[in-house]
């Protein structure tokens, strides 16, 4: 039976690149993103490659969509890989944390922290059955303390800690949990972080594909709980 991956934020950027990569690597897919037309176009393309694709548009920041997504994914029969890629940057231009609109900050945390945890909770049984993987997409902003990046960075720091905690809690069930900083990329979200600036020097998300080919062929128990940089010069399995 083919493996199945669920990818959030799959209609563009890193999520789109990962969906194509996994489809060519033999995965069936459950994809979600807020924008329906590009998501459906991608699903059609990947079906032509031989993948069984369920595309469900919606915002993972809303509990109703998360419940529907979990129910549909569970109904597909198996989940081997959950990629929590959907991310909310917050207001653009990026405001200082000291002046951050709190209702916007709540939404950033809902998408970047609550949604990944909720999806792990809802898919836990399926992931345990397949000894599956959870990959949470982080950022260098989680570590940097960069001015203006406080809301987004704090949410990704929380996601990193959640990833480590879940790795410890779920190890007895054979579930691998890692967090990955993909590095700067030429994406719509990165452009929104730098409005009006030329970001054409950033690499496309496809630059990270060698890392994913490496990571997903590692032994889960050896990498679980660790944080990786996809654009590092080399990757190592922690001792």
Catalytic residues: 152
Nearest of 158, 118, 164, 124 to residue 141 by alpha carbon: 158
Task: Write out the DSSP string of 20-85.
Answer: HHHHHTT-EEEEEES-HHHHHHHHHHHHHTT--EEEEES-TTSHHHHHHHHHHHHHTS--SEEEE-
Residue with tokens 């970047």: 112
Burial 114-140 (b: 16+ CB within 10 A, else e): bbbbbbbebbbebbeebebbbbbbbbb
Strand pairing partners for 30? 6, 54
Residue with tokens 């979990």: 70
């Amino acid at each position: 039976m083919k493996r199945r991956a669920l990818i959030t934020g799959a209609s563009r950027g890193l999520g789109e690149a990962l969906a194509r990569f996994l489809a060519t690597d033999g995965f069936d897919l459950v994809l979600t993103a807020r924008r329906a037309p590009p998501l459906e176009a991608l699903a059609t393309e990947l079906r032509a490659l031989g993948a069984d694709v369920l595309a469900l548009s919606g915002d993972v920041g809303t509990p109703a969509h998360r419940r529907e997504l979990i129910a549909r994914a569970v109904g597909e029969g198996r989940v081997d890989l959950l990629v929590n890629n959907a991310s909310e940057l917050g207001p653009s231009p990026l405001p200082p944390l000291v002046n951050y609109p709190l209702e916007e900050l709540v939404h950033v945390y809902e998408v970047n922290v609550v949604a990944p945890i909720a999806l792990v909770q809802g898919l836990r049984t399926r992931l345990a059955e397949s000894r599956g993987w959870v990959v949470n997409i982080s950022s260098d902003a989680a570590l940097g303390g960069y001015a203006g990046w406080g809301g987004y960075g704090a949410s990704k720091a929380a996601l990193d800690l959640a990833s480590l905690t879940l790795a410890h809690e779920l190890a007895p069930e054979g579930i691998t949990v890692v967090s990955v900083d993909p590095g700067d990329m030429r994406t719509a979200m990165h452009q929104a972080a730098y409005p009006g600036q030329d970001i054409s020097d950033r690499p496309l998300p496809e630059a990270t594909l060698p890392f994913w080919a490496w990571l997903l062929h590692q032994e889960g128990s050896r990498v679980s709980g660790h944080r990786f940089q996809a654009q590092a010069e080399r990757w190592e399995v922690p001792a």
